[in-house]
Structure 1
Amino acid sequence: MSASVAFERARSEERAALVGYLPAGYPSVAGAVDVLKAMVDAGVDVVEVGLPYSDPLMDGPVIQTAVEAALRAGANTTDVLRTVEAVAATGTPTLVMSYWNPIDRYGPERFSRDLAAAGGAGVITPDIIPDDAEEWLPVARSQDLDTVFLVAPSSTDKRIALTTEACRGFVYAASTMGVTGTRDQVGDAAADLVARTRKTTALPVAVGLGVSNADQAAEVANFADGVIVGSAFVRCLLDADSPADGVRAAGELAGQLSSGVRRQA
């Protein structure tokens, strides 16, 4: 199921979609599935399952801590696919967020085939641009997978147009420069980037900004089709006293964020 289905449903309800991220394998493979299902039950519309990678250059310290723990515990691509299968079974569009190197090592054709078999909706590839995705796009298209690339405030209008042309499902607007992480406030760059991106495509535009609470989610929902939250969910698990507490905290946060995208600012 393409992520676009969830965005269309949200649009019909006159709200933004809530996109939630968690790396596979943290706090354990089964534990991550439990957390993601709790997030879905509480209102997350689209799930991003992170593929743990040893050199996550674009991830902030919170996500890096979780990814490193997952890798130490032996999390691998097979675990990612198992996680996708379990979450996609809920009927929620479930994508993999991955750097290119792990996909390349696994084999792009094999990865696309196995992801589709697991019920995955597609892949978000933060570290490659469409120009460098000649090995990926044909095999992803052959399996009807969403191909989600990133645009940023530094992207030229031409680059945004080239990027959105290659996207399927939605466009990921990384509205702050640098690594991921929560932010104290929403800046003007996010709304400007969404406006520029919408000039080039009819696809939904989802913003990854560092949103961590309902008020921020409501503010971003005023101008974007989707609100992407990652570090705040991971922080729930890092701060939890037990896996059960982590599940509960992530579910509570998802509920608050879900109310935010419905309320808007």
Structure 2
Amino acid sequence: MADEPAENISGGVGGGGVEATFAPGEADTRAEAVVDELGELYWRKAYGGQDAFECLVRTILSQNTSDVASQPAHDELMARYGGGDLAKALADAERSELAETIHAAGLYNQKSEMMIDAAAEIVDEFSGETAFDACVREEEPETVRDRLLEIRGVGPKTADCVLLFSGGRGGVFPVDTHVHRIARRMGLAPPDADHEVVREHLERDVPAEKCGFGHTAMIQFGREYCKALKPACLDGPEACPLYDYCDKVGVDEVDESVVDPAEVVADD
């Protein structure tokens, strides 16, 4: 079983976690069978333990950019503002200075404003990151999720990443662009499902303890095999380790063409 790559910001060195074991056995759903196969192909981990506000910052940095770009931005941010209460430090940060610090992540003006606003809100409500961290770990997950979604710049995927990587909440399956594409292409969710509907299907069909590594491993699978424009199955059944589990919605192996699964529904 492979180690989780350090450049995967959703997990890797930044995501932490500890190796988890399970007996795959007989899966109750196809989604669980897919996650079991991903666990054999990549890794099985239980997540949790990240500082909640730093996790929030990491995920904002990763929006609309690659890990290769966002990781250096995170490192620079922590070097300049870390070492104490990060929320208080960013609440008092000069926006232009913060934007310069996270320049590598792209959309730095927008992201710096989001971080400062989020930090100010957390300091105002929780007096800093310690109480915020306790809230994320101890309050009911839906309560935490709803509160996170009230913060400017925090969408469902960001909220779910905080719940998973900081709160260690089982049954949380964050949906990024890779997960959204793969779940619909494989037929694990409706072809025209939005991110929230995909999340609902995966969290319904995958056991709680498998959701965390299912999320991170599916991202890696999307990077290596199930790419947006040229999935591995176009090179033949033997090229994709999950070929037999996949409905290949939007993939025409004869014409070697690929469309978004939602376009298949639109054409019907």
If the length of structure 1 is used for normalisation, what is the TM-score?
A: 0.31
Greater RCO, CA 8 A, separation 6+: 1
Task: Look at both structures and tell me which one has the larger radius of gyration over its CA atoms.
Answer: 2
* Structure with the bigger percentage of strand: 1
Tell me the TM-score normalised to structure 2 length. Answer: 0.31
Structure having the larger proportion of residues in helix:
2
